[in-house]
Structure 1
Amino acid sequence: MKFFNSLATLAISTIAAAHCMKKGQQLSASSNSDPFQGLLPGSNLLYFCSDKDEDSSISISNFDTNPILPTSYNPIDISISGVLRKPLNHASYVILRDVVTGEQLNSEQILICPFLESLGHLCPIESAPFHINLNFMVESLPDVQSEHIYVELYHPSGDQIICIKSPFYNGFPADQDIFMEGIGSTDL
């Protein structure tokens, strides 16, 4: 269950960031460059899965991840601010997919509201501004075949609300020295 809770935290925070900005509202990496197509605002490497200009029910003003690349076995801090424009259904759920294979990575649906409530956050089911700070350990996803995952949010009816593409790196534990000693490597 620990795996799914950490995975769900990453997925939910990523979804909240993704279902937000219309193309004209997206921020660029620097004030002197053109906006990246589909890039979410803030310090992150998150993109919409497609270029479709949908009616957004969530408007994100900022989405920060630290570190910017989620790496398994390491902590991540996430801060999300925005406005929920349309109510969120308590039965809305998240599915994670491998970008290369399309395989579903979570064996069960992750219900957004119960998950947020289990972390002490109110579920944003009413139209209102919100700000969420999350800190958790990123778990390993052994079945991932690429450096990115799709995080998909669905209505209870099965209609997709949003899909975003998030980087993901199956890395080493935070204490790499112990890990490297275990496989016979030394520092250079």
Structure 2
Amino acid sequence: MTSTAEQTTITHDEYLAGEIESPVKHEYLAGQVFAMAGASEAHVTIAGNLFALLRSHVRGSPCRVYMSDMKVRVEASDAFFYPDVFVTCSKADAAQTYYKQAPTLIVEVLSSSTAAFDRGKKFAHYRRLESLREYVVIDPEQMSIDVFRRNESGQWVLLPFAEGDRLELASIDFSTPIDAAYEDVNLTELPASNP
């Protein structure tokens, strides 16, 4: 989500009608509409890799995988977001054409302009989805994936994965080497820390 909000407050019905016609994607939060910026090659490649891996995994099941052109509605926040990748196994979602409401898994690939929002306020909104079991944030500059998993007590537990690990997504019983998510991505060198 970018930081430039349009000045007019609109209803979510107006937002949905406008989004069907708009050449630019927007996210919606309580009457405010935010234009979305483009993504880097690494961002798009990682999202595409995960989509392909997850799509192959859920094939033949009632679950479906969506990429960044499908919205997730967070009714409790009066919000619509475009996650990079998400999985829903809901029959009700299968009947919805322009958005889904019951994702089991949401993945966001970070960018410098959205990282704080994705880890903070956006995650706070996503946590209001009763169906959500895992929220995944991926660093496109180094092999680092954080999985936030809701435990049986309803608390969110952080599980970090790094180079050499297997990425484990319990919500859909999925496992893959972390390298598979970063296939064909040229990772940037991290600056050396000062002594």
Bin the TM-score by the shorter chain.
Answer: under 0.3
Which structure would you say has the larger RCO, counting Cα contacts within 8 Å and 6 or more residues apart? 1
TM-score normalised by structure 1 residue count:
0.26
